Structure 1
Amino acid sequence: MRPHCDWYTSIPGFGPFREFLVNPSWKVAQGLKLVGLGKKIDVYIKELPVNYVKSKQIVADLWQTLHPKFAVHLGVARGSSIVMLEQRGKNSGYRDRDVCGFCPESHCCIQAGPENLDSIIDMRRVSKHFRQPGMEVISSRDAGRYLCDFTYYCSLYHGQRRAALVHVPSAGSLASAERLVPLLQALIQSMLHQLENPSETCLKSCGQREALYECLASLHFATRLEISIKSLQQGRPSAVA
């Protein structure tokens, strides 16, 4: 049975993909589960296979069985050195094959679904508060039409747009769980605050500005987090769906 909480947030990250034997998005999801998102916010993480059929079913099941108030999907942007907050999921145009060599026959996520679905969160509002030295965060409206975009659209569809997709970098100064986890923790907290207070300016109240300052300090080295994440990496690898 789930513990009582005011919020239940789902954070799916992806499994192995091409050169990433351990997907950076999954490392970050594990780190976020470790540090949490605040009091009375229960965090559920799930490793998604880079497989259209399986990931689509898992996302639908997450919404139908767990009923989260919000879902934050994590994916890796190959060669990127910045964090991208994706505003929009697209329904059609999926022609690249997954790790099993498959792509949807109809090249779409949901038959007869809307062509585009936008997150209920204004990603530009969130990103502008994180344009600080050492934190390259931008909003985007093109998630790339691969598994990240595909599962994001499915989540927006099943969750009435109460979802987000964050592409984490695979290169540059932010491309480590030790630096990404405190940054994403603050980003997600800002999204949750906006979801609860849609008319307020992001970081206006409830300690959100302090959370940003703590994030900036954490980026210089969160020793306890670094040790904990390294212990996860050195342990037995997680099972892959």
Structure 2
Amino acid sequence: MEKQKKAVVVTGFGPFGEHSVNASWVAVQEFERLGLGNGVDLHVYEVPVEYQAVQRLIPGLWKKHRPQLTVHVGVSGMASTVTLEKCGHNVGYKGLDNCQFCPDTQCCVEGGPECLDSIIDMDVVCKRVTAAGLDVLFTVSTDAGRYLCDFTYYTSLHQSRGKSVFIHVPPLGKPYTGEQLGKAVKAIIEVILDMLEQAEDQINCDHKH
């Protein structure tokens, strides 16, 4: 019996502010070129830096693809490493988006919990990708910045019941190339898919006994 392909959705962001070329979208395109092999149904999207677009798009992607994993990549001008975000935050959104809009409530999901954590253990992911010996530094963070990145992450975690991750990349050339970032994204996703598969095998194993 052939194993059903697992759907993975990966998003990067479009241009905003001084980021006329968004390193996250460059990284995602480089990653898409490398791919994840035949066992994975990969779907890649560029997300506009707009709150209302995110609120429409993220639930739509979930309904359309029912992904095993959703991975969002964003750029951070303050980052100098590839940063694995552990959680998304619900409130504190005051920064205006590309449409000069910001939610009146300054929150993602009214009545939602203040923080939502990914079900993926980012500390383990960080250790494993660091051990893979890429020429990129990885770190872990609990603050995705209260702008579109954080907003997208929380929206996605809420939609996927925690089966989402967010990766922050530095701007291009500070210090990494698009190619290096693409390889880093690929390595992270492969580690996570492996972790999810091991967890699934464990559950199936427990059910058999």
Same fold judged by TM-score > 0.5? yes
Does residue 81 in structure 1 map to residue 84 in structure 2? no
For residues 207-228 of structure 1, give each alpha carbon's deviation from its aligned partner in whole angstroms, at most 9, with x where no partner exists: xxxxxxxxxxxxxxxxxxxxxx
| Structure 1 Cα separation of the partners of residues 158 and 78 of structure 2 | 29
For residues 151-205 of structure 1, give each alpha carbon's deviation from its aligned partner in whole angstroms, at most 9, with x where no partner exists: 111100111110000001115332x2111111211111001111221399xxxxx
Deviation at 1:33, TM superposition (A): 1.6
**Where does structure 1 lack aligned partners over 5 or more consecutive residues?**
201-241
Q: Give the structure 2 partner of residue 41 of structure 1.
A: 40
Give the SS at the match of 1:120: coil
Q: How many residues align?
A: 196
Q: Give the structure 2 partner of residue 57 of structure 1.
A: 56
Matches within 5 A, 1:211-226: none
User: Percentage identity across aligned positions?
Assistant: 40
| Structure 1 Cα separation of the partners of residues 69 and 21 of structure 2 | 25
Matches within 5 A, 1:65-214: 65-131=64-130, 132=133, 134-170=135-171, 171-174=173-176, 176-198=177-199
Contact 1:128 1:138 in 2 (8 A): no
Q: Give the structure 2 partner of residue 30 of structure 1.
A: 29
Contact 1:130 1:136 in 2 (8 A): no
TM-score under structure 2 normalisation? 0.88
Give the SS at the match of 1:65: helix
| Structure 1 Cα separation of the partners of residues 196 and 102 of structure 2 | 34
Give the SS at the match of 2:199: coil
Contact 2:136 2:180 in 1 (8 A): no
| Structure 2 Cα separation of the partners of residues 38 and 75 of structure 1 | 24
Hey, which bits of structure 1, 4+ residues long, moved more than 6 A? none
Q: Which amino acid aligns with 1:172?
A: K
**Where does structure 2 lack aligned partners over 5 or more consecutive residues?**
202-209
Contact 2:153 2:165 in 1 (8 A): yes
TM-score under structure 1 normalisation? 0.77
Deviation at 1:28, TM superposition (A): 1.3
